[in-house]
Amino acid sequence: MTSELLVFLVLSLVAIASALGMLFSRNAIYSALFLVLNFVTVAVFYLTLGAPFIAMSQITVYAGAIMVLFLFVIMLLGAERMTAPNALPWQRPLAFLLAITLTVESVYLILTRAKPDTVIAAPDAATNSMESLREMAMTLFDKFLLPFEVTSILLLAAMVGAIVLAKKERAGSKS
């Protein structure tokens, strides 16, 4: 148990450090790289929880696809240099206020609602086997078919929208 705790502590340190690094680095590319590191740490968290499928999807989708596109756009636009801070002077006090509210709320909820005697069961061997993957697919395509299809339609709409926006105006041009 102690080794798991050790892994957890080290991972959380890396996760928090990379999140802070992403927030505070003044170069958009380095920010994006810190975010990638953060995603990978979260994937390792999933692995320690015994969910390799979700871990690998996390890496493929977030670190592999989305962040690469982010980097691509940042590089293509040459927007890696951040503009000067304090573009909006009222932003900083507001952010502090909101952050303090969130902290107070969550501490209050943790102190009052979290029950220390409930034990989170360790995932059994079935979660790690192919069977669970099959069960997951079955649940996804059987019980949650409608939300799944709605999500795909949403993504399709977003894709069509992006293509419409990116398409050149044809009117008047002949070649």
Can you tell me the distance from the alpha carbon of 157 to that of 145, in angstroms, rounded to the nearest whole number?
A: 18
Which region among 8-16, 61-69, 92-100, 151-159 touches another protein (by CB under 8 A)? Answer: 61-69
Can you tell me the distance from the alpha carbon of 17 to that of 22, in angstroms, rounded to the nearest whole number?
A: 9
Site string for another protein, 63-82 (x = CB under 8 A): xxx--xx-xx--xx---x--
Q: Which is nearer to another protein, 94 or 140 (CB)?
A: 140
Bridge partner list, 81:
27
Please state the length of the chain. Answer: 175
Any contact of residue 59 with another protein (CB under 8 A)? yes
Minimum Å gap between C-beta 151 and another protein is 18
Can you tell me the distance from the alpha carbon of 125 to that of 76, in angstroms, rounded to the nearest whole number?
A: 46
Contact predicate 46/19, CB 8 Å: no
Phi, psi dihedrals of residue 35, rounded to the nearest 5°: -65, -40
Q: Which is nearer to another protein, 15 or 132 (CB)?
A: 132
Binding site for another protein (CB under 8 A): 27, 29-30, 33, 36, 52-53, 56-57, 59-60, 63-65, 68-69, 71-72, 75-76, 80, 128-130, 133
